Amino acid sequence: MNESVEDQNLGGVGDLHQSLAQQLRITDFDRLRRRELFGLGETEAAALRGCHAHIRANLDEIVTAFYAVQASIPEIAKIVGDRDTMRRLHDTMRSYLGELFEGRFDATYCDTRLRVGMVHSRIGVPPRLYIASVLALEEQLRPWVVAALDTDPAPRLDALHRAMVFDLHLVMETYLLAVATEVEAAKYNLQRYADSLEKVIEERTRQLHEQSRRDALTHLGNYRAFHEDLRREMARAEREHLPLTLVFLDLNRFKALNDTLGHQAGDAALCEVAVCLNRACRASDLSYRLGGDEFCVILSNTGLAEGHAFLDRLAVCWGRRPAEEGGVTVSVGLAQATPGIHIRAEDLIRAADQSMYRAKARARDSNVHGIDAGTIVG
Asked if 68 contacts 147 with a C-beta cutoff of 8 angstroms, the reply is no
Torsion angle, alpha carbons of 70, 71, 74, 77, to 10: 110
**Residues whose CB is less than 8 angstroms from the CB of residue 268 and which lie 6 or more positions away in sequence, other chains included:** none
Catalytic site residue from 167, 293, 353, 372: 293
Listed in sequence order, the DSSP H helices in the chain are: 20-23, 28-37, 42-49, 52-57, 59-71, 74-80, 83-100, 107-122, 127-148, 154-212, 223-239, 254-261, 263-280, 304-318, 345-363
CA nearest to 144, candidates 92, 105, 106, 100:
100
Own/partner pairs, 79-82, CB within 8 angstroms, 24+ separation: 79/1, 79/123, 79/124, 79/125, 79/129, 80/1
CA 235-240-246 angle, 5° bins: 55
Coil, strand or helix: which one is 168?
A: helix
Per the annotation, the verdict on 293 as an active-site residue is yes
- Catalogue the active-site residues: 293
